[in-house]
Amino acid sequence: MTEILLWLGILVALFVGYNIGGSTTGPAFGPAVGSKAISKVVAAGLMSVFFFVGAFTVGRRVVSTLGTELVSSTAIFTLEANVTVLFFIGGALFIGNFFGVPASTSMTAVGAIAGLGLAAGQLEWAVMGEIAVWWIVAPIIAFWVSGVIGRYFYARLNRRIELVQSDGPLIKIERQSVLPRVTRGPNTSTKELAGTGVVVFIGCIMAFSSGTSNIANAIAPLVGSGDLEMNTGIIIGSIAVGVGAFTIGRRTLDTLGNDLTELPLTAAIVVASVSATLVIILSLIGIPASFVIIATMSIIGLGWGRATRTTTVTGMAGDEETRVSVGALATDEGGEQLPEIGEEEPDEIPSASELFNPSTTARVVIMQNVVPLVATVGAYLTFRFVPVYGF
């Protein structure tokens, strides 16, 4: 019976890893894919490699932390309890991925473990409180930093960087000799190549950061209870993440790369830089980073800031000037279609609907709060009222 439960636990851990790959590939490489810097297949491959590197190096520390510090006693991590916790983590994440909305794996996993600890009377409230505060503060910081950049600095920044995407391939591979030679595309400028490299590099850093924190969400209960060896768990979990990145991760790449807000290359650099910086800072102070929420709120903030940027317009008689928002001007009846911020001429104005999608934003925000809540409440009710657990 014990062996059967162990194999069941591993299968559920694989399911969790699969959904982690689906939910975190979008925030890491959504900007790069949305700006057409790389394809979805390349994004999934990079996600798989750098997630494993982060998990195998720093991630083992987070596995130990999540399996010991959030609860007063690791004795509650019985094999039956581990399987149930992983089931709620994977099931809740699958709900978000099914709707194409990447849910926070850290919030979902910590919520499920907290539900177990609360039902067993072993939850460390001080640790939980510190984590929860940062989960609230960090996305707010991401939103407003990106919003300020989008509203006041984006057009100027874009003119300085001038990352206009060219037609044709970014690079080409020549196979005339024994060793293939990689060269720049026929229409690719040095600035475009460098800017694309920055976006992809930051995406790799975010994938690495995801590995450092999110591998624990799949294997921490099994490793903490001693049912699974650390290195074996990391390898198994990382493989499952890679499978999720190549399959269900395509849905979240669409949501964060295309549906939520338009992302020219300059915008992709801003979003990735803000998100990566906050995730790394949180990791350095030992907080399980709400990776998905931070990246999503950064994208929303930048889109909102760009859509609400004000400009001066002249009245019909030509003798009166008024400050209006881009959104108000773009939605004026009879108004013409306007180009995108950062790609317009200095005196042109973009369409707000192209920059900020309120309906998609509402769907993302609602689902990202519902998914962790499902895991937390479901785990608590199960461990509290199902007699088999004995808490």
pLDDT tens digits along 223-258 = 877 888 899 999 999 999 999 999 888 776 766 555
Among candidate residues 180, 196, 189, 175, the one with its CA nearest the CA of residue 43:
196
Q: Please tell me the predicted confidence (pLDDT) of residue 48.
A: 95
Q: Please tell me the predicted confidence (pLDDT) of residue 391.
A: 62
The domain tally of the chain equals: 1
Looking at the predicted structure, is the pLDDT value of residue 47 above 90? yes
Say if 329 falls within a structural domain: no
**pTM listed for this prediction:** 0.71
CB-hemisphere CA count at 13 Å for 269? 18
Say if 66 falls within a structural domain: yes
Q: Please tell me the predicted confidence (pLDDT) of residue 170.
A: 63
Scan for tokens 């475009």, then name that residue.
192
Say if 152 falls within a structural domain: yes
Say if 341 falls within a structural domain: no
At how many degrees (to 10) do helices 2-34 and 190-224 cross? Answer: 160
Say if 34 falls within a structural domain: yes
Say if 75 falls within a structural domain: yes
β-partners of residue 174 are 181
Instruction: Choose the most confident range, by mean pLDDT, from 26-35, 217-226, 346-355.
Output: 217-226
Give the whole-number percent of the chain exceeding pLDDT 70: 70
Among candidate residues 179, 66, 165, 168, the one with its CA nearest the CA of residue 116:
66
Q: Burial, 345: exposed, middle or buried (Cβ in 10 Å; 0-12, 13-18, 19+)?
A: exposed
Say if 323 falls within a structural domain: no
Among candidate residues 148, 149, 145, 147, the one with its CA nearest the CA of residue 161:
149
Q: How many CB atoms lie within 10 A of CB 105?
A: 35
pLDDT in tens, 269-325: 787 788 878 877 887 777 787 776 787 788 888 888 888 775 544 454 455 444 444
Looking at the predicted structure, is the pLDDT value of residue 355 above 70? no
The b-or-e profile of 314-329 (16+ CB within 10 A means b, else e) is: eeeeeeeeeeebbbeb
What is d(CA 70, CA 113) in angstroms, rounded to the nearest whole number?
8
Domain that includes residue 51, residue range? 2-307+357-389
Give the 3-state secondary structure of the chain. Answer: CHHHHHHHHHHHHHHHHHHHHHHHHHHHHHHHHHCCCCCHHHHHHHHHHHHHHHHHHHHHHHHHHHHHCCECCHHHCCHHHHHHHHHHHHHHHHHHHHCCCCCCHHHHHHHHHHHHHHHHCCECHHHHHHHHHHHHHHHHHHHHHHHHHHHHHHHHHHHHHCCCCCCCCCEEEECCCCCCEEEECCCCCHHHHHHHHHHHHHHHHHHHHHHHHHHHHHHHHHHHCCCCCHHHHHHHHHHHHHHHHHCCHHHHHHHHHHHCCCCCHHHHHHHHHHHHHHHHHHHHCCCCCCHHHHHHHHHHHHHHHHHCCEEEEECCCCCCEEEEEHHHHHCCCCCCCCCCCCCCCCCCCCCHHHHCCHHHHHHHHHHHHHHHHHHHHHHHHHHHHCHHHCC
Higher pLDDT, 264 or 146: 146
Looking at the predicted structure, is the pLDDT value of residue 341 above 90? no
Say if 109 falls within a structural domain: yes
